[in-house]
Chains A and B, each alone.
Chain A
Amino acid sequence: MSGLELQLRLLWRRNAGLWSLFTLLAALLVVYAWLHPGLLSIAGVARFTQTWFPVALVALAQTLIMLAGGIDLSIGAMVSLGCVLAATLVGETATAAGLGIAAVVAIGATIGATTGAIVALLRLPAIIVTLAGSFLIAGAALLVMPRPGGSMPDWLSDALAGDRPTALAMLILLLIAWRVLQATPLGHAINAAGDNPQGAFRSGVDVPLARIATYALSGALASFAGVYVAAQTGAGDPVIGMPLTLDSITAAVLGGVGFLGGQGTLRGAIAGSLLLVILINVMFFLGFPPVAQYVAKGLIIVAAMAVRLLRAG
């Protein structure tokens, strides 16, 4: 077997479990397009991916951490913080905007790395550390901006969340970046760390480092989701990310990432988030009131866990 063949086969193998999810998605997309024919245009795709993009980002962020055997309950708060920081830091000119976005993402990565270090090095339960982290980060967001305000440059909002499918392009770019990461020892260590942490550690894999890296990456992704939300709404909002924590978990579970780590793919997470978004959109078109989505989301996660349990026998 040549190296290229091995690489391609591994790629194929990782997707093998996802065909049923992909099929379900395709079917739902058809239903959605039938209910809402406007979807089938560039602007339609652009608008649709805009509602999906933040959910996809947080699903990626959650999946990364779950792959290495953790969980993050501070993702929603991180989105809020990213959002208010963006509305404060991002300047009018292109350079200022670029610097501002970079600063926001760097802050997110740093906070994530700190969380990761607490979890991995002090060996404290991730679920409670990140719960505390969510209060701290949400508090910081409220300090930056006690009530919605600030502004984003119009041209940036237009570029990111206008009539062009920028979000879709960024999503594809992210997937490619993940593929590249997977081909590095760090990417491999992330998978091994969630799959059999003790075995990986004994084989010489730096498990704590892999864990910290996932939290840092996840922090960066979540804060960028905040930047995007700010661009979408044109302003900052200190509590806008709140519902995204549960969304990220739901999407990750739907995409097949186990709570015990190791299984699943980022593609699965993106598919899971897409499934979630379409379901809610379809519900909307079928005449359900908007709040019914809360009920649906809660039920979906419980059902997904039940199915998982049944499958495990």
Chain B
Amino acid sequence: MTPPVLATREVGKRFYDNVVLRGVGIEIRPGRVHALLGENGAGKSTLINLLSGVLQPDAGAILVDGQERRGLTPAEARRLGIAVVQQELSLAPHLSVAENIALGAMPRRGGFIDYGQLAHGAGQLCARLGLDVPLDLPVERLPLGQRQLIEIAKALWRRPRVLILDEPTSSLSAHEVRTLFGLVRALRATGVAVLYISHRLNEVLELCDWVTVLKDGVVTADQSLEGSDPKALVRLMVGREAGDLFPPRGTGGEGKLALAAHGLVGESLRGLDLELRYGEVLGLGGLLGQGQEETLRALYGDLPLRGGEIRVDGRTRRAASPGRSADAGIAYVPADRKREALLLPLPIRYNLVLPALRRLATHGLRRRVREAITAASLIREFAIKANDPRDAAQLLSGGNQQKIAIARWLPLSPRVLLLNDPTRGVDVETKREIYARLRRMADDGAAVLLLSSDTLELVHLCDRVAVQRDGRIVAELDRGRLSEEAIVRASLGMAA
């Protein structure tokens, strides 16, 4: 067997108190298509970032051609022949197909761009990818699938030895997938090493030779794919211990309808239907980027809709904005707490009363004492570890910041709570507290919608789970049918 061109040895990576990867070893060999599988948050993206020099490992080593590379940078990785095709596009929308393919690596002759070579090379790559588009077309005019192919062409332009494909087929048509597979096989034949990340198991089984499965930052399988069956692979990805993290579920009688969405069409939403009842915790699951965040933003009134309607307490909502929603008792906890929730340089106390400022004031005049009392009671109730409520919020740990992002809505006693992955990057103890809090709010009659990338909390915390895929709800699993396997299968588009 040929020696690995790119490998990791016992690498570990943590973000603050959150361990993402532990002792991970992976060997990427020339002439082999290597699959990387794992659930959301298993550490796949972090591993790719380590392999391409975007992040540095805390422990272990990255090896290129058997040699340890310390402090690998993206530029260096590129020079060593490692090319990554990321999910988020790195194309310049107004530039042409040809210019994008050669971006950052323009062929030149005597200080000028060599258009002859550019046209020749880019044309050849497009032909290999089955892309029949004029080279001079600005890429913004191409459909998403073809842009994805340009992204791949861009990686191939530099003649990589290692090609890392992160969900390359997510927006391709069946025909385009076939062409891409042909190309990957041809590359394999010429000795290129391919690392293939995909949620589509059937693709992996068809195309790949070897598989590494990650679960919670640990390798759970590293084996040949010959003769594997998909159910066994899913089992390797799931199956974590729930322990005593989750509060017992309430009796959960059928509450009244709080929010109902019908046929929502907008950014990433393609005819979404969803019903949320008072007294329940409804989970919203699925693979990353299937429009779940947009669902929450639409319900909160932060996303312009092109179609469909939202009913609040049975009445159709006309004008929508976050301010109106907040006034109507709908609260939203964004995923990116540093950019979308907290005002980091401002005091903790201020952050805790921001949404309720108007409610606490009389005739627009702030009542400082009332604000201070409110903030103090929230700090106590949520056990927020703050030295002084006048400190800037940025001094708090991630977990405490997240508590603020949730706690600040409480003075408004929201009837509907929309949460966007509230436990991501949060320590275990805080997770436990957040779970208990959400359950208590539902027991008190609030409607809780929990978007989560953690299958475990969907299974053990929620009363019901809706699985979103491609801008629609594709499965609703009630308590009797809730299991990690069922959610993962529905997410992958397999029959339940």
Query: CB within 8 Å of B: which residues of A?
Result: 1-7, 9-10, 12-13, 180, 183-185, 188, 191-192, 195-196, 198-200, 202-205, 262-263
> Contact: A2 with B116, CB < 8 Å?
yes
Tell me the bound Cα distance from A4 to B120 in angstroms. 11
Please tell me if B172 contacts chain A, counting CB pairs below 8 Å: no
Can you identify 14 A-B contacts, CB atoms within 8 angstroms? A3-B116, A3-B117, A10-B96, A183-B115, A184-B113, A191-B99, A192-B92, A195-B94, A196-B91, A196-B92, A196-B93, A199-B103, A202-B90, A203-B103
Q: Which of B94, B112, B115, B137 contacts A191 (CB 8 A)?
A: B94
Contacts of A184 in B (CB 8 A): 108, 111-113
Tell me the bound Cα distance from A205 to B74 in angstroms. 12
Contacts of B115 in A (CB 8 A): 3-4, 6-7, 183
Starting from the known contacts A192-B95, A203-B104, 15 additional A-B residue pairs (CB-CB under 8 Å) come to A2-B116, A3-B120, A6-B115, A13-B138, A184-B111, A184-B112, A188-B106, A192-B92, A192-B103, A195-B92, A199-B89, A200-B104, A204-B78, A205-B103, A262-B92
Tell me the bound Cα distance from A263 to B138 in angstroms. 11
Chain B residues numbered 103-160 whose CB sits less than 8 Å from any CB in chain A? 103-106, 108, 111-120, 123, 134-138, 154
Number of A-B contacts (CB under 8 A): 94
Contact with A along B331-354 (1 / 0, CB 8 A): 000000000000000000000000
Tell me the bound Cα distance from A205 to B91 in angstroms. 12
- Decide: A13 near B136, CB < 8 A? Known: A3-B114, A188-B113: yes
B138 to A, closest residue via Cβ: A13
A313 to B, closest residue via Cβ: B304
Please tell me if B75 contacts chain A, counting CB pairs below 8 Å: yes
Please tell me if B98 contacts chain A, counting CB pairs below 8 Å: yes
How far in angstroms is the closest Cβ of chain A from B100?
9
B114 to A, closest residue via Cβ: A3
- Decide: A199 near B105, CB < 8 A? Known: A1-B123, A6-B118, A6-B135: no
> Contact: A199 with B92, CB < 8 Å?
yes
Chain B interface residue count, Cβ-Cβ cutoff 8 angstroms: 35
A6 to B, closest residue via Cβ: B119
Contacts of B137 in A (CB 8 A): 13
Contacts of B93 in A (CB 8 A): 195-196, 262
Contacts of A199 in B (CB 8 A): 89-92, 103
Contacts of A188 in B (CB 8 A): 99, 106, 113
Tell me the bound Cα distance from A8 to B390 in angstroms. 63
How far in angstroms is the closest Cβ of chain A from B449?
29
Contacts of B105 in A (CB 8 A): 203-204
How far in angstroms is the closest Cβ of chain B from A68?
12
Contacts of B91 in A (CB 8 A): 196, 199
Tell me the bound Cα distance from A200 to B111 in angstroms. 20
B136 to A, closest residue via Cβ: A9
A196 to B, closest residue via Cβ: B92
> Contact: B113 with A185, CB < 8 Å?
yes
How far in angstroms is the closest Cβ of chain B from A144?
37
> Contact: A203 with B99, CB < 8 Å?
no
Tell me the bound Cα distance from A198 to B88 in angstroms. 11
Contacts of A6 in B (CB 8 A): 98, 115, 118-119, 135-136
> Contact: B123 with A200, CB < 8 Å?
no
- Decide: A200 near B103, CB < 8 A? Known: A9-B134, A195-B94: yes
How far in angstroms is the closest Cβ of chain B from A51?
32
Contacts of B108 in A (CB 8 A): 184-185
How far in angstroms is the closest Cβ of chain B from A8?
9
Tell me the bound Cα distance from A147 to B477 in angstroms. 80
User: Which 8 residue pairs are nearest across A and B when measured between Cβ atoms?
Assistant: A3-B116, A199-B90, A204-B104, A203-B104, A3-B115, A195-B92, A9-B136, A6-B119
Tell me the bound Cα distance from A192 to B106 in angstroms. 12
Tell me the bound Cα distance from A69 to B352 in angstroms. 37
